[in-house]
Amino acid sequence: MRIALVGYGKMGKIIDEIAAKRGHEVVSKLNETPTKENLNNPDVVIEFSQPEVAFNNIKTCLENKIPVVCGTTGWLERKPEIEKIAIENNTAFLYGSNFSLGVNLFFALNENLAKLMSRFSEDYTCQLEEIHHVHKKDAPSGTAISVAEGIIKNSAFESWKLDETNGTELGITAIREDEVPGTHSVYYRSEVDEIEIKHTAFSRNGFALGAVIAAEWLPGKKGNFGMKEVLGL
């Protein structure tokens, strides 16, 4: 399979290595704006860039009928526009706030726990915490937002905010520390105890492998997808 990498930073380089090991040809490695010419006719694009350029990067690829796997966070207010562009151009878009298998199992565990804990909302408060390396620009992380959305969908919470939990607003604490790849925790606290679920990434390799697996899955499909469809969760 021919893969174009749009965004060739730390993640892009790891994806490049994993794609090559899995027998794929990386035909383009871009840190500049993609065009039909410099994309070099790929079967799929994997986009890991920066929040301020992600929308235009993805839009260009989809308008050239190239399916896109995107892992860039911090631009999601424009995601509905991208999903519409994918449909209009009869191609496919797959967004993942986090592509690792462990995190996607964590998402499923989080939703099931939220359903269970919703019966005890008067006894337990809920708080999220995410820790990432100091180079991460957006806060909270896209993964933390996905975790929060999973709780909101299965509880009385109505929204999330970057702060402590208050009423129907679910709080997310964001910490930037050293070179931490990513740690996400959900706490349910009462006066007498605490329940915690936590996912800790040891490196970026799990994210990168998941992105390549998503790219292997996507070509030939039409519409908008996430890792739930890829992993059958």
CA dist 107 → 31, 43, 88, 181, 223 (Å): 31, 29, 30, 18, 22
Supply the DSSP symbol for 166.
B
Q: Which of 13, 79, 133, 136 is catalytic?
A: 136
Q: Which of 30, 73, 11, 46 is nearest to 214 (CA)?
A: 46
Active site residue 136: yes
- Of 43, 47, 44, nearest to 58 by C-alpha is 47
> Does 10 participate in catalysis according to the annotation?
no
Which token pair is 6? 């749009």
- Exposed / middle / buried, residue 214 (Cβ in 10 Å: 0-12, 13-18, 19+): buried
Which entry of 132, 198, 199, 222 is annotated as an active-site residue? 132
Kindly list the catalytic residues.
132, 136
